[in-house]
Structure 1
Amino acid sequence: MAGEQGRSVLVTGGNRGIGLEVARRFVREGDRVAATYRTSAPEENFLAVQCDVTSSADVDQAFKEVEAAHGNVEVLIVNAGINDDQLLLRMSEESFTSVLDTNLTGAFRVVKRSLKGMLRAKHGRIILISSAVALRGEAGQANYAASKAGLIGLARSLAREYGSRGITVNVVAPGLTATDMSQALTEEQRDELVRQIPVGRLGNPAEIASAVHFLAGQSYITGAVIPVDGGAGMGH
């Protein structure tokens, strides 16, 4: 459990966008925060650890660094992910498998490594960052949607496996959020997507971080999928 210095928190893909805002939120709450990055380290008030989640060796080394500095990871936020959009008939097999290897198999690697310490402590909070696209689909994103939908099955299976050991596993499913990924869209594409959102705007990373922080403090919510999408995915 958390001590006087707060919890040991690890955020994968914490160098920008949603992951960075999540890391900042836990820092503000007084937790000991580490965040992984693949190529560009953030200049922030938390421990930055280089890690490519497609490498089991990288994942193991990252955890060793975090454990040495902060102790066993008590709260894990799995956010590292990529997209490589293309209509399926034009999508290469490498494009499909690389997105799944980072977004889904990468989550498997990170979660599996975190369970060592959580099982010893009989306590843990795991939150996987999925997407509204996982629930409703999106043309041109079959690989991304499949990887993000896979996180839901992974989380719910682990919730059943480890709930009796004091470990909860939940999913946050953001909608279109004001990050680098949404900035890559054209103005016309963004306008069309916003028209499909009942609240009529993009989300902001702080709103995603609030949901993540809420779940990290709960002991009787597990296997849940929390949409933070302005209503875009409701009914799915």
Structure 2
Amino acid sequence: MKLLIKLSGKVIDNEKQLDDFVKFIKERYNKDKILIVHGGGKQISLWMQKLSIQPTFVNGLRYTDEQTLEIVVSVLCGLINKFLVWKFIEQGIIKTVGLSCVDNKLLVTQIDKNLGFVGREAKQINFAVLDLLLKNGYIVLLSSIGLAKDKKKLVVVNINADDVVSLIAVKFKPDKIVFLSDVEGVFDCKNKVIKYLSVKEIDKLIEQKTVSEGMIPKLQSIKTLFLSAKVKEVFITNNIRKEGTKIVK
């Protein structure tokens, strides 16, 4: 099985939840090809506050100026990515590699100037290195720092981790995609978890403001997944062993 997981920074910050996730990966990594894209929004905001910089968000996405970009790269590629690699190796998952979307020019995007140094739509996806690692039994932990074309030069950009999942899925063609966060799933207007959700219902949830903040770009990325990667099902959950909200076409 090919398994693509988006690991939220909120899960990384929760010791019990993270330990359970690592145990699950240990059970599966000799059986499945596993690619993990990790976030780190909570940790980025924490470091910005330590440096007296106020985080700014536009429709749930972080505005990234040059100063913010330095922090984002440091936190995602340095602190979080290598912490996760260490965590996996410590638990005996020796064949673990931590990369960013800059490495081997993995992901070149279109810069979204409304968000600063943020990449959105993919212009080039170079999956060769990931394919080689996955075929040889490695777990890959991928941070959401990539490249974008700005006029005639390439620049480093922040990419929303949910967007990275939708872009990478086109080449990876996973059997299952899981968005693992601190929420049980998508909630309805009565604050109950929606067990089954069709992709056609996503726009309605956003228009009616049933969902808000970070869930909006997440659902928009998932909608893109169904259009571009032709996936069959996607899960949003706070427990890797439970389905939470199952989204189908």
Structure 2 length normalisation: TM-score?
0.33
Please identify which structure carries the higher helix content. Answer: 1
Flag the structure with more relative contact order, 1 or 2, with Cα contacts below 8 A and sequence separation at least 6: 2
Please identify which structure carries the higher strand content. Answer: 2
Structure 1 length normalisation: TM-score?
0.34
